[in-house]
Structure formats: C-alpha cells, structure tokens
Chain A
C-alpha cells in the first residue's frame, strides 16, 4: 500500500510540476452535485451523442455520399443488378458486406432515436421543476437550439442512405421549401442543385450531418455542461438545502463512478436493442426513384409531429394574381413548428415577466406547486402528442379497421379541443394535490383507523407527519397575482406604458389567481396547541 501511495504521489507530483494541476484537480474532485434519478436524463442524451459519434465515425469509413449511378453487385440478391446511387449502394455494402456494419448502422440509428427522446424527457424535467429560472435561462436557450439541431441532424441522417423512404422524406422537404412565397423555388433549386432530386443534395447533407451540425453540437453541449458546472446543479427541496448551497456527493469518486457506469449502461442497452430489433431496413425500401412511393412512409418519430400536422391540415390555399400560397403546407410545416419552438425558447422570459421575479432559484419546484405552469406544459405535450399521432393516421386506420378520413377529421377536432381540456384538468389536479398537502400538514395523515368515541361519534384517527415532511410541504413560495399599479403616480402624472402593465397584471392573474396557500407557521402552531386533529 505504501508503495502504491508513493507511486501515485510520484505520478501526481510529475504532473503537478509541469501543469500545476493539483489545485484545479482538488477543487474539481470535491465539487458537490445533488443526486436524483431525474438528473440523469440529460446524461442519457449526452452518452447517446457519444455513441453516435463513435458509430458514425465507423460508418463514414465506407459510406459514399454521392448520387452518381452504379449497378448493384453486392451480397443482397433481391436488389442484384439494379441501378442505384452510390450512397444507397454503399449503405447496402455496410449492411451486408462490411463486417459488423449492420450492427453499427443499427446502433447508430437506435442511439439517434434514444438521443432525441432523452432530450425531450430531459426538457420536460427541466420545465416542470422550474429549473429554467434565473440564472439558467441561457442554458434553456442552448437546450432549445440543441433540440432543434437534433431534428435537422436526424432528418439529414435519415436522408443519406438514398433509399425509397429517405427520398420520399426529401420530396416532402422540397414541397415545404416550395411553399415559401417568393423565395421557395430559388431556395429549392439552391439546396438540391437544380430540379429535384438533383445531384448535389446527398453530398451537401453529408457535410452537414458529419461535420457542421456535430461540430455545433459539440460546442453547445460543452457550454451546456460547463454552465451546469459553473452555475451549480439545482436540487429538490429538503431540510438543509437552500438557495445558497448545494447538498450532495463529491464529483470524485461518486459521480465519476456513477456517470462512467451509466455511460456503459447506455451503450449496453443501445447495443442490446440493436442486436435484437431491426431499424430502418433500407434493403427492403429499395433505391429511391422519384416515381415510386410506399404506403406507410413516415419519418422517424421526432419528425412525426410535423408529418401529423401536414396530414391533418385542411386543404386551404390562397390563389391570387396567378400565384398560389399553399397554406396547407406553409402553416403545418413551417408556422406550427416555428411557433412551437419560439414559445419553447421564450418561456423562461415569459414566466419571469409574469412573476416579476428577479431572484436566483436553485431549489426546484414540485410541479403541483406551480399549477398554471404545469398545466401549460401538459397542454403543450398533449398538442404535440396529437400531432404525433396524426402522423400515423393510416396505421390507426388499418389496425383498428377505421376510416382514415374519419380519423383525420377526429384529429382536426382533438387538436383544438384536447389541449385546453388537459390544461384545465392538470391545473385542477395540481390544486387538489396542494389542498391535500395542506390537509396533511394541518391534520396529519389519514390512518384508516376509525374510532368510536364514548358519546358514539365516529372519527378517523389522523397521524401527525414528521417535521421534515411538514417542512417539505410548506417550504415553497406561493405566488400571488401582481397588483395593478395606480394609473397615475404620486404627483398625479399618468404612468408610462400603462397598457403593458395592465396586460402584465392580467397574465399574472391568469397564472396565480387560483391558488392554495400553504399553511403558515401560525396556523400550524394554533392547530398543535389546540390539540385538534
């Protein structure tokens, strides 16, 4: 042991003499992080990204990003002798002739699906616990950009093999570009290098997919993680945790072990899934020909909401002076996602404006304690889910023997009706849960024991809860609507920006009018001294 220590000290000394690393390592190794399983959702995305980089590098060794035509003479007989692009031919070669090529392709694709889904779940955790509040708005914006980039990166990757499925996806992309008034045709010609499908797109997408977007990704992910480090991680409320500390375990050895282990778990689960289930069987789709299309052509799930919004949009078009503005493409494919992502990115600032809160927040909210935010989140999720389901309307039709026309009509109605309902229901559930918390603090937990008193009265015995639990249920801030300031100031001079402040007061009322106050210490004390249960 002494020898080992001596050797370690020697190595450490050598490094410290040259790089002066001892101080930095000491500080880093002792950095404390709060612990919770929901803090690991972002890690899944990070590790999937690393898996994507590793397997993607393997795939670049054989993939040919070219649309020049070749005749297939590879191992897969059902495509023998067909003309196809080099991109498709090389993807087939990776799948059937390169050793380990198919499993690498499958790991790459499954990891991509897991990557985006982990980002979405991570986003939900951040949203519902209010982890986006000051000082973390910048990281929220970076996260929104990362998610948007992931969709583009995914679409590019989906398009590269140049099979029938990816070609159809590109055809829709072309249609979306063409729907832009004035510049649409120019943009499309520029992107595809001429009339669709052109000769240039695969090579261009390849550069974006393997260099440009991953580069931006790497830079933004680095900033994203560095900011978590610098601003410290948020923590769930517990006695002893304040806005000024971080309670948890040190980075070394606890998190180095946990995070390292979780990386291998992520890799293992992805590899297991890839060895058991086929993903994107490009050999079944066949090479892309602009004249061909298959039933059941859908994008990967993360683009499914766009497919759905396209499928459920009524056929509205504006025709004037010999021009057509195709609202049936423009609205669902550009305006709807544009609105969704803008609202997502701006949310922290909207909430800050509404609350007028300029303090830092490191203690997370329990979703029930912020009913309006939670309701709005569920509203957004239900909107997105209906769009996603709408993208698979044909599969619903064939699975449940229904008419695709009725399903589409139903989705058109549901997309308007369900989100507001889910908002109201969620908000009511939150308020109900808050009332229950209040009850619990004041009267204790219901034990289920019914007692009969000497005078014949029946009561249920309530058991008082622990002080820790009481603290947990009362620690949060209960916000009130902002008071509308008087129209004139003390000197009788009309206030400036009156309309804006009125609007702000109205939104604030919308947010905080329905509220359940947590019990005050005075209330708790009164109950305790009176001895009433």
Chain B
C-alpha cells in the first residue's frame, strides 16, 4: 500500500512531542497578547489630562444626544437629574463606566449594568464634563498602584469607614427605602477609587482631605485581596454572616441527622 506523502507529515509526527503543548500554549498566548496590545484601547490615553478639543466636542455631542434630557442642555441639571457642573471627570467615568448612566429606569437606586459607551466615548464624555468646571479627575496609574499598600491597615480603614454599609467582606448590604450598598467583589480598583472621591448616590465623599490617597489605595488593596482570597474553611456561604450559616445548619446539619434517625427507626413501629 502506498503511503500518501503529506507535506506536513513531520509536523503531525511531532505533535505528540512532550513539549508540543507548551509550544502551542506559548504561541497562543503570544498571539492573544499581541492582538490585545495592538487592538485594545490604551487606558492611559483616556486618563490623560491634556485632552484635545476634538474629544471635548465629541463628548458634548454624546452628552446632548444621551444625557441632556435629564441633566439639561448645558449640564445645568433639571428636575430629573442633578447638575454636572463641577462633578469632574471621575464621576462621569464611574457612572458611565459602570453602566449606571444613562439610567434605564428610576428606582430607589440606579443600578449597575452593561456600559452603553465604550472606553473612548466614556473618556470623551468625561472630558466634556470636566471642561465645564474643575472637579475630581480620573485617577492615573500611579494613584491606583496598590501593589505595595498595607492590606492589614486597609482592612482596618475599611472596617472603620465602609463595612457598616458594604459588609465586612464587601458583600454589600441594605440601606433605607430600597437603597443598598453594592457588593464590591467585582468592582475595578479605578471605579472603587472614583466612588470614594465622588460619592455616588447614597455614598459619602471621601476626599483626599478626609482620607489620604494612600488610605484609599490600602482599602483597594484589602478588597482586591479579600475578593481573591481562598476560603480556608471551605464554602464561604456568601460571606454574609450567621444567617446563611443558620440555614445550612438546619437544612444540612439537623436535616441530615433527622433523615438518619428516620432511617434508623424505620424497622420498627
């Protein structure tokens, strides 16, 4: 029987080589990384302070089409939405970047959803609002660098200032009249920082004079660490305190034992 000669026979033979998976993995990672660097919008660009007039103009256009019905044609505010003069780029980046704005419906609280604008549009909107009056700016990379921050100290600051609403592990909690403090586990460091300096919705403002930037970074370091921390005791049960523990104790603890008792007592009547 004649063997077919395929040009890549050599390759086929080598695919079972023990380094083959590594090579494939390296190649895949390289391609993904390369494509990402090439295509992903640089976060630095949108956070840059020197914003061109073009992006301010684009932001103004977006604002007029999407925001002005509530916030007014000149962002002066109306009965449906507050003025945005002086709220700063950070507020816009937080509200639009987390999808809270434009708001889908009015409830006790405007909730997080899929963002309606991409990073570049968000930056343009932020640039426009920032151009109206000075306000808190979007934090730059150095402000957000929490790699060397003290996690333990961050935990202490968090428990003193944040845990009463956001819960000890950042699981979130209820506020009055249907409002709530959202869970913080999936929130990005930038959005956490912006929330602290702008105080969205029910949240108070933690300006740099009440809470130095270093403390904010420590809080972020604590929360990021807490979010990725493995549970040494097993399933976390939601990290909401003893209520879920009580439910599990009744259902799976006592429930299982009663089932065993029924089993043991089944023979006789």
What is the interface of chain A, defined by CB distance below 8 A to chain B? 35-41, 43-44, 72, 77-82, 95-96, 102, 106, 110, 113-114, 117-118, 121, 164-165, 236, 238, 248-249, 258, 261-262, 265-266, 269-270, 273-281, 283-286, 289, 291-301, 304, 391-395, 397-398, 401-405
- Asked if B50 is at the interface (CB within 8 A of a chain A CB), the reply is no
Distance, CA A433 to CA B13, complexed state (A): 78
Does B256 have its Cβ within 8 Å of any Cβ on chain A?
yes
| Residues in B whose Cβ lies below 8 Å from that of A395 | 174, 240, 243
> In the complex, are the beta carbons of A40 and B156 less than 8 A apart?
no
Q: Is B128 in the interface zone, CB < 8 Å from A? A: no
Query: Can you list 13 contacts pairing A with B, beta carbon distance less than 8 Å?
Result: A43-B261, A72-B152, A77-B152, A78-B155, A118-B254, A281-B231, A294-B163, A298-B241, A301-B247, A304-B243, A392-B243, A395-B243, A398-B173
Contact assessment for A289 and B159 in the assembled complex, using a CB-CB cutoff below 8 Å: yes
Which A residues are in CB contact (< 8 Å) with B249? 110, 113-114, 117, 273, 301
Q: Mark B170-194, 1 if CB is under 8 A from A, else 0.
A: 0111111110110000000000000
Please name all residues of chain A whose beta carbon is closer than 8 Å to the beta carbon of B232 when the two chains form the complex: 95-96, 102, 278, 283
Task: List 20 additional contacts besides A292-B163, A301-B245; criterion CB under 8 Å.
Answer: A37-B258, A39-B265, A44-B261, A77-B151, A78-B222, A78-B225, A82-B153, A117-B254, A121-B254, A165-B242, A273-B252, A273-B256, A278-B237, A281-B239, A284-B168, A295-B181, A301-B250, A398-B180, A403-B177, A404-B175
Please measure, in the bound complex, the distance between the C-alpha atom of A277 and the C-alpha atom of B244, giving whole angstroms. 11
Q: Is the CB of A397 within 8 A of B235?
A: no
Q: Tell yes or no: B169 within 8 A of A by CB.
A: yes
Nearest A residue to B266, CB-CB: A37
Q: Is B246 an interface residue (CB 8 A)?
A: yes
The CA of A279 and the CA of B246, in the complex, are separated in Å by: 9
- Kindly list chain B residues whose C-beta atoms are within 8 Å of the C-beta of A262: 260-261, 264
The reply to whether B229 and A78 form a contact with Cβ atoms under 8 Å apart is yes
Measured between beta carbons, the chain B residues less than 8 angstroms from A291 are: 160
A81 CA to B165 CA in the complex, in Å? Answer: 25
The reply to whether B253 and A164 form a contact with Cβ atoms under 8 Å apart is no
Q: How far is the CB of A286 from chain B (nearest CB, A)?
A: 5
How many B residues touch A, CB cutoff 8 Å? Answer: 64
Is the Cβ of A300 less than 8 Å from the Cβ of B258?
Answer: no
Q: B186 → chain A, closest Cβ, in Å?
A: 16
Nearest chain A residue, comparing its CB with the CB of B236: A278
Are B167 and A279 within 8 A (Cβ)? no
Q: Which of B180, B254, B265 has the most CB of A within 10 A?
A: B254
Contact B233 A285 (CB under 8 A): no
Interface centre among B168, B172, B267 (most CB of A within 10 A): B168
Closest to A299 in B: B242
Known A113-B245, A295-B181, A403-B177; judge A79-B264 contact (CB<8 A): no
B10 within 8 A of A: no
User: Across the interface, do B253 and A37 meet the contact criterion of CB distance under 8 Å?
Assistant: no
Most chain B Cβ neighbours within 10 Å, of A40, A236, A261: A40
Bound-state Cα–Cα, A457 to B262, Å: 46
B248 within 8 A of A: yes
| Whole-angstrom CA separation of A395 from B252 in the bound complex | 21
In the assembled complex, B24 has its CB within 8 A of some CB on chain A: no
A residues in contact with B173, CB < 8 Å:
295-296, 394, 398
- Check if A113 sits within 8 Å of B246, measured CB to CB: yes
Which chain B residues border A113 with CB–CB below 8 Å? 245-246, 249-250, 253
Interface membership of B45, Cβ < 8 A: no
Q: Which residues from B are CB-within-8-Å of A298?
A: 241-243
Residues of B within 8 A of A284 (CB): 168-169, 226, 239
Question: Within the assembled complex, what's the spacing in Å between the Cα atoms of A262 and B265?
Answer: 11
Q: How far is the CA of A114 from the CA of B178 in the complex (A)?
A: 34
Are B237 and A277 closer than 8 Å at their CB atoms? yes
